[in-house]
Structure 1
């Protein structure tokens, strides 16, 4: 880091220089040191009669720039520093509205935040090499508030160059009200100017972007990091409107997780340029601006180079750690037994960042080291997320997808690659090429590879620059569709799953064809792929096909196809007519009781969550005597659909949505979806298919864990251990009869019935419910 070289800090004053390196980086962003969102804003303005930077005048200012960083809570203490300096702006030449400004940044000084500071603001002076850097005057061609050129001394370091670009950006001023596009050290921004008085104007900056600014855009709405920024700059001229009396730039940036907004950090900055004095100076005699620049160059003995206001990337040698050395230092944090805890998570973040900067040889050295044999799978996880050209080439040098002895490591790398939110299109292209070229890939790797390609293509299509990836996305889609058409029998199944990962609207026609004309299993897989697309893509074609499948209007369908079609119809906010048809289906003559029961539970689950749907369902039931009675709505099967909250906060909710489809008393399909919800918008985080015995345990354990306040992680660990099976195999019913001899009215968890609270005339409990509950409840002693 730049400041890491500049600052010599005693341990008594700061924990370590590296602990403040992040703050120095942010301040570098602020003044144009490097790339980031916290940059000095440009501002100024003008009303009629304002004439800034009159030729032959020199104005002295005091610059005070502060950066503070803290959590998004008022109770937390911030950390940070500020730099002050003296600035002299000389207008040495003029031609019409074009002026040549000579600017000197004198005596920059660093102050750091310290508990030992005697002043209320908590800052004390601190020595740094900032005072020793080569610091020469620089030139700026200024016309009507726009900076046409900036010229800096050739011998200056990049850090000082960026510092001066950041300051120069302050002087880019629109001399009238309105909205304009500006390019400065912040990048390309939209600047809006508003007049406050005859001498004061306020500039607001927004939508700042830069090609050199690295920003991660996670396509997942809940897992991305959002940023709220507020940038204003107040410019005030003196009463004569001939010079800037002050510039005050304030920025406030808050980064937060949408799923839990109190997990956030805040960066605040303030830059104040205050007038000190002014004097008259000699005007250069030159016919053109080029001659004026040449004259200053000879007088000062400097060679100037023309630059733009955009900052330059710095070489941060001290921050570029070797991947091999980083792995050595963090090896103890990567044990398989610790995965899923905080310790390896922190190590993963550091190693992914390092891997993205590392060379191919450096990564290859780490993969081939015997010391890393025990953590090799974790290294492939990390490299799968890193997804750089060098990291991928190093992995492909280490493993071969057609090697049966490397199935585990190959699958581990492909899994990690598919999970990354920032897929590399070049890696996707290389994997697709290998999929087509290699003829002897083991079936397991081949399956994982095609699923990975589908996932990568979907995420590439969600990125802001998705138009650049159209070709590779199309190639992957064509490959999957061609293989689906070519494959026979069960070999087709993996390509249906790949289409589910792909989420491509252009594949809907193909999937609907398999729904209508394919085998029962192909139809079920096609419906699963369509359901994964989400309500936004469930158009009229899908709605029509779902109606035909659920009600079997054109042919007989597999029960799983019918329940999946029911999911689509019910989750698509059906109109009153369709909702009434589905409810009337419950009292129809169709012998598929489990399909009826599933639809019953699904509607009940949504009615519990949405008062509007509840009111609509109640209205339909009450106006139909055949529906509004025990015979019409009594449970006739064991299929179910229910939801249980595992997380609730002011910003979002998390639910476990459990679906169980039964047939002839045996579980046919069972899933648990982890769903996040924020302001009415829901997003599935992941889905788990579970065995029949685990469905029972999962449902009741959630409820019982809530009653006895068992942490969710304890519950999850329990469900996924052998002990769950052991508990399920005990004489559960006998123990329950002993504890609850009067039935389950005293159970801590009441039976779930979709219409229990819809109409008081309906019975709350049924014999079927009671029998079902006795089969599912287990004793909590095993959770201790």
Structure 2
């Protein structure tokens, strides 16, 4: 068998030499017939419902000069190219091709210097059209081939690609192209998988030669599968098949010249170029932004924030906005007719994320003025979420910090530049050593050291939480271990946001805080330390320590209850941890009989529930409620978008309270050391992991009692309004026929969040309510746009998922708390639009088809646990 294999390889090598000696003998003229089929279809329709086009004709290849040592000068003639639409019917339907870009080019001529299977140089006449020139380059690229096994790098019309050649037989060869890159394309994507897009590309050429070494046929296939990771039913498949087949071979007249350079001098009117494509305006016209905003105005009013139509309206404006100049954006912002939608225009400016949009903002508003604080904060908060952070914008905002006297604006600027720096550091080819990022880090650390009060320190600790620079972990740990409870808890909250790989070396310190080894710590600091320890892949010893703690005499029963809830939640999510936990519990008789594990008192809860699934995104919500003295002390609800094993928090709403235990009960639970008796309550908000300036409901007994007696605390407080981008993906590819494929996906979340926190001393109860109105929209588009033909499919999704969280506490006798987590009925709408057009045709309108799909998703009330159900029943009696 080995001898047969060696013989085959020797035969293939001899054929390889024969191919390149005889492939294009000078004075031969070979005519090929060619067909190029392009098709596009979406995931929801079958391939039979694809749209696309076909270009067919003849190609004459003449070898007019050269030899096997220096290569050959090949002349190409494109003869009678024809364009067909609608599933490749024999004639175009309702189209006048007299003005098609192909009309008038029935005998296109171009040249190439071909040497040993490589196009060394290309020579093309200026056709005044980049897309046609790219089509010619694609034909030349097909003639770039080898006929032996091997791996190399080649540059052709699709870019610079990794190439693998596989000789299937002595006359049949396979060429596989991967990892094609083009530095002229500016692509961007979110590094977060659950908010990203997936592209799978297959590029394969099959080359066949005749027995005497002539090129017989080339079959080139180029397939792209493009999908949105969060939505299983949103995606596209595109294909471009290029087939050349040898027909008539005859002799032709050769160029008489003394050298190759002299032969090239005879090519009058031809320009030397490469196979890399020309990049014109590859995308279609996005329209006039002024007119588009006028049309979208009704959907951008304040009362529409939190609805799907406002999210969809923003998406339709972003692409056009990214091509707009500062003066145009300024004219829109300051227009009389746009005054009532100015807050939403701030969201648009932030989503555009160009230097021009930032120039328009700072030309309108001055950060040092107290006027227009709402619009200033609206822009900055939305800017912190964007995925295309500009180093120039970070640097300019950083320079402005010292000049800002308004505490709220200063706080918001700090959080914005910290969040932007985090994204910049995690961008491709960037890290935390970036100059702007380092400057932001130094400002936060320096300002933190200079602060004289806790309120000031917490501003910069939040900044470190948003920045998440590994260099700041030591500083935050020092604050967590040594500072009073308010700063310690703030530092722990910041540490909880860091990558677990960066925290792994600090496990001993987190154990110190949770188990109170060196001193006593605030219960919130302890529970956050527990959250971190559980995220660091606990082993058998760690779980054994947790179970032993449940048997300890530590009087903080709410901390113990919190631990039990977290262990159960993690066991539900992770099968391996569930096995480990059961093994440890079973080996401890004192716990295994539920004397400890099942009989703990306490109201703290931790749970996760499925929030959304196909046909919507795959998502869950996680609720953590830490109770102290019968009152909510720290509560978070995270709305998570999931993909594979990754979870991303699209929105976090958290309630916090302190100093209220004396109003509720005189419970025997241990009082936190150094706990401030000042009554406080408020809300912390994070949009896509970026923490904003917190909203304080009340601070101090006087303000609390004012709310209690006046009833103002019973009114809902608008905690957050905004429209921000979720998905933000754009990629450009060049197909094997030279056409530029533009794939883009934009997703937006429009949110209106209201919250309230009330305490009644008369009725001895305390209630909190969070109403979250969300509008989600997605636009995903694949487009082949050129003057030859334009084909496009767009899928849009819109929905209004909502989640409402309420807590009721009755402390008239024994403290009882009821948590309710509800979702109303919603409808998801999907629209699929297909268009095909010949831009230079006389026909005024493109072929267009629209399909609407609607899905009804029933609401639900989430069952939290049996204990909560019993308490709710008791309160509702």
Question: The TM-score by the shorter chain falls in which range?
Answer: 0.7 to 0.9
Distance (Å, rounded) in 2 between the aligned partners of 1:772 and 1:544:
38
State whether residues 510 and 530 of structure 2, in contact with CA within 8 Å, keep that contact through their aligned partners in structure 1. Answer: yes
Residues 165-244 of structure 1 aligned to structure 2 (within 5 Å): 165-242=137-214, 244=215
Unaligned runs of 5+ residues in structure 2 are 1-13, 658-755, 758-765, 773-797, 819-859
Q: 1:241-320 to 2 correspondence within 5 Å? A: 241-242=213-214, 244-297=215-268, 303-315=269-281, 319=285
CA, structure 1 residues 488+456, in 2 after alignment: closer, same or farther (shift >3 Å)?
same
- 1:566·1:599 contact (CA, 8 Å) conserved in 2? yes
Contact 1:46/1:200 (<8 A) preserved? no
Aligned equivalent of 1:131: 102
Match of 1:405 among 361, 366, 371: 371
Deviations 1:322-380 (A, max 9, x none): 32233223323322333344433333223111111111221111112111112212122
**Which residue does 2:576 correspond to in 1?**
612
Of the structure 1 ranges 220-229 and 174-183, higher mean CA displacement relative to structure 2 is found in: 174-183
Q: 1:718–1:616: structure 2 CA closer, same or farther, 3 Å change rule? A: closer
Shift of 1:418: 0.9
Range that drifts further, 656-665 or 288-297 = 288-297
Whole-angstrom distance in 2 between the partners of 1:87 and 1:174: 21
Match of 1:460 in 2: 424
Alignment partner, residue 102 of structure 1: 75
TM-aligned CA distance change 1:382 to 1:749, over 3 Å: closer
1:687-706 → structure 2 map (5 Å cutoff): 687-690=652-655
In the alignment, the residues of structure 2 paired with residue 355 and residue 553 of structure 1 have an alpha-carbon distance, to the nearest angstrom, of 56
Higher strand share: 2
Q: 1: distance between equivalents of 2:431 and 2:584?
A: 47
Question: Partner residue of 2:626?
Answer: 661
In terms of mean alpha carbon deviation, does 769-778 or 414-423 score higher? 769-778
Q: Relative to 1, partners in 2 of residues 1:433 and 1:176: Cα closer, same or farther, differing over 3 Å?
A: farther
Identify if the C-alpha distance between structure 1 residues 335 and 651 changes in structure 2 by more than 3 Å, giving closer, same or farther: closer
How far the C-alpha of 1:467 sits from its partner, in A, is 5.5
Displacement of 1:519: 2.3
- Structure 1 residue matching 2:192: 3-state secondary structure: coil
Match of residue 562 from structure 1: 526
Partners of 1:171 and 1:682 in 2: how far apart?
47
Alignment counterpart, residue 315 of structure 2, candidates 349, 357, 374: 349
Say if 2:374 is the partner of 1:385.
Answer: no
Paired with 2:73 and 2:303, the residues of 1 have a C-alpha distance of: 66
SS at match of 1:325: helix
Partner of 1:551: 515
After TM superposition, give the deviation of residue 98 of structure 1 in Å. Answer: 1.5
8 Å CA contact retained: 1:607, 1:613:
yes
Instruction: Report how far residue 155 of structure 1 moved.
Output: 5.4
1:88-167 to 2 correspondence within 5 Å?
Answer: 88-95=60-67, 96-113=69-86, 127=97, 128-132=99-103, 136-154=108-126, 156-167=128-139
SS in 2 for 1:204: strand
Are residue 480 (structure 1) and residue 444 (structure 2) matched?
A: yes
What do the CA deviations read for 1:446-474 (whole angstroms, capped 9, x no partner)?
A: 11111111111111122223269822222
2:303 corresponds in structure 1 to 337
CA deviations 1:631-675 (Å, max 9, x no partner) are 312122111111111124599842211111111111110001123
Question: CA, structure 1 residues 179+654, in 2 after alignment: closer, same or farther (shift >3 Å)?
Answer: same
Q: Encode CA deviations 1:185-218: one digit per residue, 9 max, x unaligned.
A: 1111111111111111111111111112232221
Q: Report matched runs for 1:665-676 at 5 Å.
A: 665-676=630-641
Match of 1:504 in 2: 469
Deviation, 1:97, is 3.8
Q: Alpha-carbon deviation of 1:528?
A: 1.1
Deviations 1:48-104 (A, max 9, x none): 421222221111112211111111245362111121232111111104241111112
> RMSD of the alignment, in Å?
3.3
State the SS of the aligned residue for 2:61: strand
TM superposition shift of 1:124? 8.7
Bigger drift between 459-468 and 375-384 goes to: 459-468
Alpha-carbon separation, structure 2, partners of 1:304 and 1:748: 72
C-alpha separation between the residues in 2 aligned to 1:480 and 1:69?
51
Give the stretch that moved more between structures: 669-678 or 185-194. Answer: 669-678
Out of 519, 532, 536, which is 1:572 matched to?
A: 536
Distance 1:697 1:423 in 2: 36
Structure 1 gap segments, 5+ residues each = 1-44, 298-302, 702-711, 738-746, 753-764, 779-784
Q: What SS does the corresponding residue of 2:205 show, helix, strand or coil?
A: strand
Quick check: 1:658–1:699 contact (8 Å CA) kept in 2? no
Distance 1:715 1:510, change over 3 A: same
Quote how far apart the aligned CAs of 1:315 are: 4.0
Question: More displaced, 46-55 or 263-272?
Answer: 46-55
Larger deviation, residues 566-575 vs 461-470: 461-470
TM-score, with length taken from structure 1? 0.81
Q: 1:321 to 1:118 in 2, by over 3 A?
A: closer
Match of 2:291 in 1: 325
Distance in 2, matches of 1:164 and 1:749, equals 61
Deviates more, 1:288-297 or 1:691-700: 691-700
Q: SS where residue 555 of structure 1 aligns? A: coil
| 2:576 counterpart of 1:632 | no
Is residue 58 of structure 1 aligned with residue 29 of structure 2?
yes
Cα contact 1:523–1:561 (8 A) shared by 2: yes
The structure-2 alpha-carbon separation of the partners of 1:653 and 1:155, relative to structure 1 and needing over 3 Å to count, comes to: closer
1: CA distance between counterparts of 2:95 and 2:304? 44
3-state DSSP class of the match of 1:80? strand
Deviation at 1:443, TM superposition (A): 1.4
CA distance in 1, matches of 2:512, 2:348: 46
User: 2-side partners of 1:591 and 1:646: how far apart?
Assistant: 35
Secondary structure of residue in 2 paired with 1:137: strand
Contact 1:104 1:137 in 2 (8 A): yes
Structure 1 range deviating more: 408-417 or 479-488: 479-488
* Contact 2:377/2:409 (<8 A) preserved: yes
Structure 2 counterpart of 1:435, from 393, 397, 401 = 401
TM-score normalised according to structure 2 size: 0.72
Q: d(CA) in 2 for partners of 1:246 and 1:342?
A: 52
* 1: CA distance, partners of 2:863 / 2:533: 28
Distance in structure 1 (CA, Å) of the matches to 2:615 and 2:336? 49
Q: Distance in 1 between matches of 2:313 and 2:415?
A: 28
Q: Which residue of 1 aligns with 2:795?
A: none
- Structure number having the greater helix percentage: 1
CA contact (8 A) 1:144 1:175 kept: no
Secondary structure of the residue that 2:255 maps to in structure 1? coil
Aligned counterparts of 2:799 and 2:122: Cα–Cα separation in 1? 58
Select between 133-142 and 216-225 the one with higher mean Cα deviation: 133-142
Q: Aligned runs of 1:723-734 on 2, under 5 Å?
A: none
Q: Deviations over 1:752-777 (max 9, x none)?
A: 2xxxxxxxxxxxx7xx7676343676
Structure with greater contact order relative to length (CA < 8 Å, sep ≥ 6): 2
Partner Cα distance (1:219, 1:146) in 2? 37
Aligned partners of 1:178, 1:48: CA distance in 2, in Å? 15
Q: Does 1:470 align with 2:556?
A: no
- Distance between the aligned counterparts of 2:460 and 2:622, measured in 1? 26
Q: Matched residue pairs, number?
A: 681
